[in-house]
Amino acid sequence: MKRLPVGLFMGMLSACYFADIARVALQPSEVRANPTIPAAAAACLSNPNCMAAMVTIGGVVYWEIREGFNIRHIPLAPMLGDPGNVAGRRETHAVANSAICDEMLRNFQQRGRRLKLIERRYVGGQLPYLCIFEGVDAQPGYYDDNRYK
């Protein structure tokens, strides 16, 4: 009978173990229908010498990537949520020029929305600026959905 290398065998055991942890750790309300696998984890999954699994450490879910003695953790949270767009806290909008951030703010204030313009971040490209608003009335996608109303 062909024997598996000890490392690979241990790796398979660990993978099962971590998969179980992941099943326990991920509550249904946290999981999107089709979560994206980060590039590092995807590359690892296609590499027989690398192991990728979801683990929870301190209540936070991570992709754990093990390659030899090198262990990395990539938080899952950015994929499951978006810190830039959180109802009641923060809205982020991409715009063509920085003056639009001020127009958006005036628009929001006229509607009685309790939001502050915090930052105009330059990111380049077709919509080079981000307008970042914070406040209790933050609602992701609000401006675009209500632009013509």
Partner 1 sequence: MNLVIYSLCRESDLLRKAPKDPNFNEEPIKVEWSEDVPGVGQSVSLGGEQRWFKVQITRYQSAQQDIDVYFVHVNRTLAVPVGWDCDGRENETIHVELSTVGESILGFAFNVLGEAPKVGSRLMNYQRTSHPTLMQETSSDWIRDRYDECIPQGAAPYKAIYLTWCKQNVLTTAQLQA
Interaction of residue 89 with partner 1, rule CB under 8 A: no
CB of 83 to partner 1, least distance (A): 5
Nearer to partner 1, 5 or 122 (CB): 122
Using the rule CB under 8 A, is 35 a contact of partner 1?
A: no
Q: Is 13 in the site for partner 1 (CB under 8 A)?
A: no
The neighbour count for residue 117, using CB atoms within 10 Å, is 17
Which of 1, 110, 124, 149 touches partner 1 (CB under 8 A)? 124
Q: Is 130 in the site for partner 1 (CB under 8 A)?
A: yes
Which amino acid is it at 30? E
Residue 82 binds partner 1, judged by CB under 8 A: yes
Kindly tell me the burial class for residue 5, based on how many C-beta atoms sit within 10 Å of its own C-beta (0-12, 13-18, 19 or more).
exposed
The count of C-alpha atoms lying within 13 angstroms of the C-alpha of 113, restricted to the half-sphere facing its C-beta, is 24
Q: Name the residue type at position 17.
A: Y
* 108 belongs to the binding site for partner 1 (CB under 8 A): no
Distance, CA of 20 to CA of 116 (rounded, Å): 43
Q: Choose which of 106, 116, 136, 146 interacts with partner 1 (CB under 8 A).
A: 116
Residue 88 near residue 71 (C-beta atoms within 8 A):
no
What tokens does 124 get? 């380049």
| Contact footprint for partner 1 (CB under 8 A) | 57-58, 62, 71-75, 77-79, 82-85, 92-99, 101, 116-124, 127-128, 130, 140-141, 143-144
